[in-house]
Structure 1
Amino acid sequence: MLYKSLAVLMAGSALAAPALAETTYPLQLQNCGVEVSFPKAPASTVTVGQAATEILYSLGLAEKVTGTSVWFTEVLPEYKSANDQIERLADNDPSFESVVAKRPELISIQYEWHVGPQGIVATREQFADVGIPTYILPADCTGKDNTVGSDGTRSAMFTMDGIYQGVTELAAIFDVADRGEALVTDLKSRETAAIDSAKALGLTDASAVFWFSSAEMDIDPYVAGRKGPPAYMMNALGLKNIIESDEEWPVVSWETIARANPSVIVIAKMDRRRFEADDYEKKIEFLKSDPVTKEMDAVKNDRIVVIDGHSMDPSIRNIAALEVLADALPKFDLK
């Protein structure tokens, strides 16, 4: 099973180490350039972003979540029952009014472009004006400039440290530090195991490209830049990213990709259907029929890996995606 339940994690950690100290309030944190303060553990939160939602669920805090928004795919199966009881304010971007109407004591956010200096939902100041603190997952702002490019531009390679920081800080905010430690310990263990299995293959000249989607099926695709989560996965597993842009999701022509001839093509699978290319089966059909793409070695040799689209963005799902890719590599004879 790719994802362990919190109960299993907690049981294991309880045997291994004493419980961590309770959070001392008021708790003050520097979060994406803003100081946030919590006089006590929030009684409720609204989430803007699936990654934030699933971290809270993984920390056993579903009862604190009173509204969710910005969904890419189905919730992790172990949290479906809890999620079904929580109001979904919007599949995509919620309105400021709908969030405030829930009277939350915290807004938990995945992307700065939703709630930030030019937030399309609101600015952090707007929420502060009505007495609601905001917390953005650090993975979206650490080593990243969200004012450049449509999805931001990375100034440093993404690592899982930003995700682990988000888990740890949310656990501290809600006074469940022991749960945060258990979750991070498990994710780090799985991360190390996946990387070690790929290192054993001794790859030296293998490359890859991650295709998220395309505005139209037959036009230039959105692919992963060289410093985001997919780039981290490639680097960790010994694959060269053929894309050289620092943008999170640059648009690159298929002709350019075909000339680079990646050893492996990784495509996103998601429930969202904003574009035709959101459908992974249509992606595969295109790759095998287009006169340019069908000549690539990865297509001819069926070296195509399908992973959860949400796991290509910063989230706890990054580890499961790393595992899927690491498990696929031995089958491709890339030496």
Structure 2
Amino acid sequence: MTRILPLALLALFPAAALADHPLTIENCGRTVTLAEPPANVVSIGQSTTEILYALGAEDRMAGTALWFNAVLPRHADADAGVPRIADNMPSFESVVNRRPGLVVTMFEWMIGAQGVVGRPEQFADLGIPVYVMPTDCAAKDNTVGADGTREADFDIETLYASVDQMARMMGLGDRGRALQADLRARQAAAVDRARGLDLPDASAVVWFSSAHLEVDPYVAGARGIPAWMLDQLGLRNVVQSDEEWPTVGWESIARADPSVIVIARMDRRRFPADDHEAKLDFLRSDPVTSRMTAVREDRIVILDAEAMHAGLRMFDGLEALTEAMAGLAP
């Protein structure tokens, strides 16, 4: 059957860009179907937003939300032309008021069975398709724990699949393949350099934030994204919980005495420990943490919080960690 496309779409996309459409993608237990590339997308999450910017899709973005860090400098011009709906969690109404043809999100806890923004069915009732990055739902139960529990180790291929699927949804498959190739090359280079350092007993803990500095911190679990990064580089995660970001007492962490402490730097301010300077002050003044080898020897690595999520900044994080590991080499 011959498809008759609206003239506006024919003007926006060359024939090659429309080759994948109509497009159907199996996504987090649901089916996402797009008759044509969407002309207006809302992105809830910095990872999805920066992937879209890297694909050159900013001219078709109707809004963004949920930011942990300032936008990457190379995407500053693109971001300047896209409305910021909310720095943190947007409301359902604020998203649908942008009249999106597609909503994408990095976290199922944003849009899912218990979504704080809404459930997929709510968007479907309005004819709005929703896409969740597979990085947050593949082999993961998001109904257990504050940020979900991993049922298997994070698989980097789910990130590459996210890039591919988002690119094809936007009618930009070629750009998606080029972006994947660049990311794979960066991953391989960082891993090769880190493995060449020969640090057989190096270990780490990754501190994201804390509800209060006086309580147990949120640290990276054994099967999530930061744990994958550490494993790739030959660092052992001292935290063994399957939860994505469990709370673990400093006494337990101090007993493990990791070689390196990785802390998140973010512009978000939900908790006092979102401020990385507050983290540093705590580590150096608390009677337990101040005695840890990594604190005494200043082996503290500061990474953007977004580098600890599945997205483009993961690769910046791999490279920064590799650089820090070089300082541990004898």
User: Is the TM value for this pair above 0.5?
Assistant: yes
**1 CA distance for matches of 2:140 and 2:278?**
32
Match of 1:56 among 39, 52, 64: 52
Check whether the contact 1:23–1:172 (CA below 8 A) recurs between aligned residues. Answer: no
Check whether the contact 1:23–1:177 (CA below 8 A) recurs between aligned residues. Answer: no
In the alignment, is residue 113 of structure 1 matched against residue 100 of structure 2?
Answer: no
Aligned to 1:65: 61
**1 CA distance for matches of 2:18 and 2:126?**
28
**2 CA distance for matches of 1:261 and 1:23?**
54
Deviation at 1:159, TM superposition (A): 2.7
- Structure 2 matches for 1:137-216, cutoff 5 A? 137-216=133-212
Check whether the contact 2:217–2:249 (CA below 8 A) recurs between aligned residues. Answer: yes
Deviation at 1:178, TM superposition (A): 0.8
**1 CA distance for matches of 2:149 and 2:291?**
31
In the alignment, is residue 277 of structure 1 matched against residue 296 of structure 2?
Answer: no
CA offset digits 1:304-334 (Å, max 9, x no partner): 100011111211111110100001101123x
- Structure 2 matches for 1:305-316, cutoff 5 A? 305-316=301-312
**1 CA distance for matches of 2:18 and 2:185?**
25
Amino acid at match of 1:90: A
Aligned to 1:217: 213
**2 CA distance for matches of 1:307 and 1:93?**
22
Aligned to 1:322: 318
Could you tell me the percent identity over the aligned residues? 52
Aligned to 1:211, the other structure's residue is in SS state: strand
Deviation at 1:21, TM superposition (A): 7.7
Check whether the contact 1:73–1:272 (CA below 8 A) recurs between aligned residues. Answer: yes
Amino acid at match of 1:34: R
**2 CA distance for matches of 1:195 and 1:140?**
23
CA offset digits 1:177-202 (Å, max 9, x no partner): 11001110000000000000011011
Deviation at 1:288, TM superposition (A): 1.2
Deviation at 1:54, TM superposition (A): 0.7
Aligned to 1:122: 118
Aligned to 1:208, the other structure's residue is in SS state: strand
RMSD after superposition: 1.2
CA offset digits 1:18-49 (Å, max 9, x no partner): xx885332111100010111111111101111
**2 CA distance for matches of 1:223 and 1:274?**
16
**2 CA distance for matches of 1:312 and 1:214?**
15
Match of 1:95 among 87, 91, 94: 91
**2 CA distance for matches of 1:172 and 1:327?**
34
Deviation at 1:218, TM superposition (A): 2.4
Aligned to 1:290: 286
**2 CA distance for matches of 1:281 and 1:306?**
10
**1 CA distance for matches of 2:276 and 2:21?**
47
**2 CA distance for matches of 1:274 and 1:21?**
41
Aligned to 2:159, the other structure's residue is in SS state: helix
Check whether the contact 1:23–1:173 (CA below 8 A) recurs between aligned residues. Answer: no
Aligned to 2:246: 250
Amino acid at match of 1:102: R
Unaligned runs of 5+ in 1: 1-19
Amino acid at match of 1:249: W
Check whether the contact 1:210–1:223 (CA below 8 A) recurs between aligned residues. Answer: yes
**2 CA distance for matches of 1:316 and 1:152?**
22
Deviation at 1:79, TM superposition (A): 1.4
Amino acid at match of 2:233: L
Aligned to 2:301, the other structure's residue is in SS state: strand
Deviation at 1:162, TM superposition (A): 1.3
Amino acid at match of 2:21: Y
Which TM-score applies when normalising by structure 1?
0.92
Aligned to 2:6: none
Amino acid at match of 2:48: A
Q: Alignment length, in residue pairs?
A: 315
Unaligned runs of 5+ in 2: 1-15
CA offset digits 1:72-106 (Å, max 9, x no partner): 11111111122122211111111111111111100
**2 CA distance for matches of 1:139 and 1:24?**
23
